[in-house]
């Protein structure tokens, strides 16, 4: 009987050791996966930073072009307003001249 108990205890210890080994192997695989994931995450973050910088440059360029177009539009509007004012002024002078001629007659 005592011999059977010793044999069972030895089997139990053996199973416990196997379970410990399996748990250790699994933990090592989990740790390796975590390390690989962290490396991949850092690589992806670096790539994203580069892409974000590129997008920021593109946005800055587009904003600069928009400001240039707005400035050109404002200058065009001012120029058109000056031309209209000048045409109106000339018409007014012509009308005043005609009116003065009529008064003189």
Q: What's the pLDDT tens digit per position in 45-77?
A: 999 999 999 999 999 999 999 999 999 999 999
The pLDDT confidence band at residue 97, using thresholds 50, 70 and 90, is: very high
Please spell the DSSP secondary structure of 16-31, one letter per residue: HHHHHHHHHHHHHHHH
- The pTM of the full predicted model, rounded to 2 decimals, is 0.54
What tokens does 70 get?
């707005």
pLDDT of 105 higher than 80 = no
Mean pLDDT score, 27-40: 97
* CA 63 vs CA 22, 49, 56, 70, 101: distances in Å: 60, 21, 10, 10, 57
């Amino acid at each position: 009987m005592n011999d059977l108990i010793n044999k069972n205890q030895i089997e139990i210890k053996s199973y416990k050791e196997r379970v410990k080994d399996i748990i250790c192997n699994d933990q090592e695989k989990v740790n390796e996966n975590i390390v690989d994931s962290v490396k991949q995450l850092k690589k992806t973050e670096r790539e994203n930073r580069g892409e974000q910088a590129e997008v920021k440059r593109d946005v800055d360029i587009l904003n600069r072009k928009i400001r240039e177009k707005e400035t050109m539009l404002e200058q065009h509007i001012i120029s058109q307003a000056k031309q209209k004012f000048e045409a109106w002024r000339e018409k007014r002078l012509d009308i005043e001249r005609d009116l003065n001629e009529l008064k003189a007659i």
